Structure 1
Amino acid sequence: MFKKPLTNLKSFSPLRSSDRRRFQNEAYGAYPSVKEICTAEEGASHLMPDDLLSAKFISHIGTAGVLYKHEKKPLWISLENMPPVPTVYTMWQYPSMLPKLYTWGPVVRKLMDGADLMIPGLVLGPEGQLPDLNTGDLVAITIKGYSIPLAVGTMALPTSNITPRSGMKGKAVHIIHIYKDFLWAMGDKSEPPDLESISDDDYEEEVNEEEHEQTKDIDVIAEKTQEISMMPDTTTNAKQLTTNEIDEWLLKSVYQALVFKIKHENASSVLPLSASSFYSAYIMPCRPLTVGSEVDIKKSSWKKLQKFLKALDKSGLLKTKEQRGETMVVSINYSHPSLQDLHKYKTMESATVQAANAKETAAKQAASAVKVTDATKSKNSISNQIEIQDIFKPLGNSLQKFFEEAKHDKDGLYTIPQVRQAMLDYIKIHDSVDPQNQKMINIDPVLCDAILTKQEYNLVNKLTRDQILHRICQKMQPFHSLKLPGKDAVLKKGPCKPIEVVQEVRQGRKTITKVTGVEGFGLDVEELCKELTRLCASSATYNPIHGVSPKNPLHEIMVQGPQIKNITHFVISKGVPARFIDTEDKTAKKGKGKK
């Protein structure tokens, strides 16, 4: 409920004595153990201090309630049809006021991100059983082995219907408030008593049988990686390989494929990749030339490709995802230790390429005249292509400081791969990788100032590399490099604006096609109109667009008839990349949308 700031919070005002006593009695009725503690001490009213303040609020999800605070620290929440709900600050003072459910450290971090507590995340506490709770009852949540509550929520179903670690799925608790959310940030931001860290250690010890097998696979990969580094690059093929040797060469083929075939700078354009394509097009060609014919997933200890990729995913080397029933490789961790300091070896693909090159050379010698003609055509086609590249420049002191800390020029111009390299250099210099999860990067003060919003300062502690890269590029000033055929590249401010081709009806039933934005690609409007007249066999005229600076005049080309397809192919033939052409057919029937 408090994952994001409150959308509407009224001004705090002091409670009348009668309202304060009534609210205190409600709390005592809901929490008898607190009443015993308070009434046994002098000054029983300290549960609800005399100067308690209240204010109405509406959360970001539309829930209305009343917030009670004392000395700038929120103590209670009042929600409709519920007893007074304590905040973590109150529960830390009275740890036993609510029954507790226990979970793992990694699950708590998920709850901090706004998730509800799921049944698979529950674990039995010291009593060996769950407390007796019904749907809607308030419950505190904490980590196994730690008695101080870290969150409060309501039961999604009775505990009598829950059996932890049984494979049951679904929500167990709807989270209301948790340590480190925006309600906690409204207070003094103190830490839970005696909490050293939210550790994963116990969680790792309690994995189920399937996770044990996966962990065993990871250990096998780690052991084999060390053995691979000691193996020679060639092996005699006199004897048949053992299963252990096949495993080693299969892993080495994966590393070779990732580093030298897919390559770091090309990964974003290659991925996502289906498991079968990854195996056949990348792993198999990168098998060693001397023993490659013996290396096969079916002969390995993994037997199946799915299990092999799952082990690679668990080891942190790459990330897979199920899409429409098929396993996809979606990202590669090029900072993984297994991909460092690799050396090329002769692969099965290299032998095939050499044979193909020899065959191609013979074919060229046999038909040199035809090849020269084809080469000329190919060269003309390439030279006609307009090259566009996104460029970024650090903007603002916080982002410039980030590039300085990464040992890069704070005033330089960067392509996306160069920004990524600067980010990786920064992570390496400052050792920012989360030791418990290699995929996550700890957000230090420099990164916090550079990429986080003010509302995220106290909530976001870790991000993935891709998330950090995306945020950095969003904060940078955009430029684009435009290289026309036969000319030097020109740097222009802002992102490249696409050519817009719109087909619509005018004057009742007359269809026309409008084209705008061709000037940004160095195309002459008058010449285009002449060529479009011949191509479309219809009238093509142009008029200036009103409200545009006279120094950089823009025009709208108008072609008679439905000509989206002809114009699109024509503009592509002029060298404009297809991704910079936006088309819209306003004459299409509802539901068809863009062409």
Structure 2
Amino acid sequence: MFKKNVSIQTARPISGKDVKELKRKIKISFPDLSEEDVDQFFPAKAEVQVVKLKNRTIAYTCGNANPLFFDPDGRGDLLVPTVYALCKCPHILETLYTYSEVSPKVLGGADLFLQGLIVPQGGLGDFSAGDLRAVSVPGNPFPFAVGTMEVGSSEVARTGLKGKGLKLLHFFGDQLWGLGDKASPDPSFTPTRIFPVKECLLHGLHSVADEDLPMLTSDFSSKHMLPAKADGANIDIKKSSYKKLSKLLSTFEKKGLLTTKVIHKQDKLTAVNRSHELYTDYSPRQQAAASNSSAASTSGSKITVTYSYRVPTSLRPIFDSDADKDTLYSEERVCALLKAYAEREGLGAGQGAIKLDKLLVGHLFNKKEPQQEGETHPFEDTMRRLLGKLALFHTMARSSPEASLTLSCAAMYIITNRSLHACLSYQGVVEVVKKGSVKNITMSMEDRMGGRKHVTHLMHVESFGLNADELGAALQRKFKTSCSVAKLPGKTETGKEISLQGNLLQEIPKYLKEEYGIEGQYIDIKKRGS
């Protein structure tokens, strides 16, 4: 709505009586706000202005500063908080959550599809078409967009997470935001992407070893936080709501994430709580891989595959107390948490061994095996058995010049058979998360008419974040041949088969490597019968 230039038509102060009426409307529209909350927006005796824009929107500012609320069509039917207001009081509206990787799409002015929502354990709640909702990234308390629901919860329950979910009205960085002071609520807000709160802080804490502490907070910022910033991000704490590094660290010290202390009149970071949920939920290796992939996107394609594990309910006591069915852990993280569990439960037997308790015996060993509770067992074998009980997932990340041009492709999140499948396209990176090992692309050549005619078939391109219809069209243009795309048979099969006239078993693998970085090891070639 405010994606293009929005000019001011008129701006004037309103009377005290009108201010009282505005406050009354705000309290009626947003019952979760207290009197103190409303006074925070419009303090007593402060000048409140009504600003009319040329697109008929009416906005309300305080002290000739940031727009706090606006009426989209100027008819008085709807009062909407701006991102400035949402960052002051995030509880004004109920919040929808989307992935950080999806935020570039919203910051480009696109509506948010239902497929791009993160559904919490309790569901999305009850709502009707037209209801206001804020939009946030998990781990970031500041909403970055606001809009109205295009469907109700009953329709979502009936049809599933398909189609448009939220019609975007206003977002961080748009022209309405530009009417204010443009101060970022947090360094995690960048023009192209919203990150979990203090991504650089978390990355910095992961890069600091305990033996390096205590450390000057200024050194921590310059040597560990700032080097972790994403490409294009301008991390300036002075322009954030924290204003100072000390306030930022103090905020997370109160949350129990870290400890600081003044030593010899110098502020120092003295401890990191490595069991804190913010610390354990953050994966610096994945962030670095994404950053490296983005940087490499201008110089060619690159495929990286990493494996992770999901924990069944029966084994969650070994893992974080808040582990849920969608949390994925690297093998290194599983090992660290098993060691932490052994230490917590007094099972550390030393010399590469672990003492078995009831949970480990009951879930990692067969009934016919002789291991008993209280016995010691090699830690390495215990770890191997634990991994075997976890659900294996893989993450395929592909950086490519074409990916930077596919920001218009919405991120798709599809929950099928209780397994999470994700396909993301952002900042020059295409990322796919699926259960099990990587499914290679399959190619085959079919002989027809006694060998006088050939058809080349291509399947499972979705495993590498490729759209079968778009790839089929590209191959058709490249090799100047006819092409058809059809859904693969099977109720649980979601992929498609590309069929092209001619024998292209040599040409297509070369094309996939040059254009998408897909090496031959990810392509299986076989010949079909006549």
With structure 2 as the length reference, what TM-score do the two structures score? 0.39
User: Could you say which structure has the higher helix fraction?
Assistant: 1
Structure ID, larger Rg: 1
User: Could you say which structure has the higher strand fraction?
Assistant: 2
Q: Which has the higher contact order (CA 8 A, sep 6+)?
A: 2
With structure 1 as the length reference, what TM-score do the two structures score? 0.35
